[in-house]
Chain A
Amino acid sequence: MQSWRESPGVVVVLLAPAVLWLLLFFLIPLGFIWVISFGERAGPVAIDITWTLANYRDAIDPLYLGLFTRSLRIAAISTVIALVIAFPVAFAITFASPRLKPILLLLVILPFFTNMLIRTYAMIAVLRRNGYVNFSLEQLWEAGAFALQPFGLAGMLGERFVPLDLLYNNTAVVFGIVYVYLPFMVLPLYASLERLDRSLLEASLDLGASQFRTFFFVTVPLAVPGIVSGIMLVFIPAMGTFLISDLLGGPSSQLIGNVIERQFKAANNWPLGAAMSFLLLYLTFVLLVLRAWFEKRDRGRG
């Protein structure tokens, strides 16, 4: 490693492909979008760059701000749920036997083997009125009604089974986001729990703390880097998602991502879409800066 640092030529050669890739397919297109966000539509395809701020003004229209707040809320709720589900999972994997561990990790990564679109469609099959969840509930309902019949209580469960409307609402969107992004929460949590020195947990128990206290006063604080990374990795894409809300959400679950997508496609208002994208991007930057600041502070203190 040391010698690499001393010969910059090697570093340049090694980094060149990645830098080139980022430049060509990320930074330059991003620059275009940034420039377009200061433009005006001059025809079906033509855009004049007039350095106007009108798009940004339009983007913070109360209508869009409402959508933005809803996106924020749904992303936040999804992130919290993902965290609550992922922590025990990551904890269990960390403490699983060495034989079981790779299998469990594989199970976490397995969903990545299928396309996100397909996975989201699969959720429709699970949640729709005649989907798997309702099917199971119906079976339970029938069993319950059958069991209650001899007591003349069959009516207690209603005349007939009414399937639940699980799809096309905000809950379904949250469900979809949690389902799709859960691995992004589990993996960083696992990484930071794996690094955790077990003797710290033993020391806590040894000092008389319960398992519960040990978890909240030792495990969780020391897993903060993983928690922060996991939150970032779930919250940021959740904030920008449009596929999940499109497929699983109802008319009132449109997210800011859907609006942006519509500006680029149906509404053909690239400048507004670009401005909205960049507002979202700035928010992401703020979050990343905050994280960097937290990390620096933590490293400075211990």
Chain B
Amino acid sequence: MRPPIVSIDGVTKRFGETAAVDQVSIDIQANEFFALLGPSGCGKTTLLRMLAGFETPNEGRILIDGDDMTRVPPNRRPVNMVFQSYAVFPHMTVEANVAYGLKVEGIGGAELRRRVDEALAMVRLENFRARKPDQLSGGQRQRVALARALIKRPKVLLLDEPLSALDKKLREQMQLELVRLQHEVGITFVMVTHDQEEALSMANRIAVMDHGRVLQIADPRTLYEHPTHRFVAEFIGTVNSLDVEVRSVDGPHARIRHPLLGEITVERAAPDVERGVVVARPEKLRLDFSAPPVDGEILLDAVVEQIAYYGDLSFVFVRCPDGTALQISRYNVNRQDKGDPAAGSLCRVGIHPDDLLLVGTG
């Protein structure tokens, strides 16, 4: 395997007493679309700014393409950034904004013109070149910021919440656009986001952060289906978490006890998980009214409490006799569907032990 294009090695950044980024180590491979995901204030931006050179780590090293960049100023790093506020120069036209980074390098004349044309075409802004930023929409401004950074042909493109200022429709469109661009230019993207769906749908790999620490680095599917921490499970998607008593552990499995489920064997998220909670995704639970249990399934009696209808799917909130609340998602697969159960009706919830996972709470 080739050496990583970005290597973050035991990096800590403290602001006063608190560590905004705490002992973080991440290797990012060339051509990856890598996402830094976490709640507000978890240190994503700080980490990204250390990659760009705007903050200097208190501890640890940052290597970019094998070179130690820990103390190299931002204007001498082979990376470029798309700022959250876009930071498009308001006093320059679209064209001048895009050309800025090349002019700085002393590139001019025909080559400058060719590459500016190319960059504008890439983000589909050919017809806006003479406009000033305040004559552009948010999405267009963002594409200026993208073109301005990509024209530099950086080894890594850093994006800080690039889509957070856009409305939902435009955001979805730009998600696809960004992924397309990344394929097209073959540049490593590192994107900060607090939107888990955005991270899942766009990134090849995701690092989930909380309180300055990286909890798990994995591809989207692994993060969703095999979270190693309760925090990851709950931050990505929705999840039912059940407090359980761990009776014994054995390799990848654990024997657990829960008043509703009885004593069963479930998968363990990681070899060091000896205590914790059992999690189950809402779509893995089956809402059952009459049909017999599927092989190995545990059936629980419950009362429907509330229903949230989203069109394509519904969330059904139920409560078991012992007070445990569960949520189940149902896809509304055909129009003739008789619909969701009424609130207050009795139902049964099918849980298969294979869909349960014991995760650590640390």
A interface residues with partner B (beta carbon < 8 Å): 197, 199-200, 202-210, 213, 217-218, 221-222, 301-302
Contacts and interface: CB of A to CB of B under 8 A. Distances in A.
B75 to A, nearest CB: 5
A68 B318 CA distance: 89
A222 B90 contact: yes
B236 to A, nearest CB: 29
Given A213-B104, A301-B132, A302-B133, A206 B74 contact: yes
B101 A208 contact: yes
25 contacts: A197-B87, A199-B83, A199-B85, A200-B87, A200-B89, A202-B74, A202-B83, A203-B87, A203-B89, A205-B53, A205-B54, A206-B75, A207-B100, A207-B152, A208-B75, A208-B76, A208-B101, A208-B104, A209-B101, A210-B75, A222-B90, A222-B91, A301-B132, A302-B90, A302-B133
A207 B83 contact: no
B81 interface: yes
Contacts of A205: 53-54, 73-75
Nearest to B132: A302
Interface size class of B (residues with CB under 8 A): 20 to 34
Interface in B85-135: 85, 87-91, 100-101, 104-105, 132-135
A205 B89 CA distance: 12
Contacts of A207: 75, 80, 100-101, 104, 148-149, 152
A154 B182 CA distance: 74
A156 B132 CA distance: 62
Interface string B202-234: 000000000000000000000000000000000
A235 B104 CA distance: 35
B52 interface: yes
B80 A206 contact: yes
Contacts of B52: 202, 206
Contacts of A221: 91
B132 to A, nearest CB: 3
A301 B74 CA distance: 30
Given A207-B148, A208-B101, A210-B75, A202 B87 contact: yes
Nearest to A302: B132
A296 to B, nearest CB: 14
Nearest to B91: A221
A288 to B, nearest CB: 23
B152 A208 contact: yes
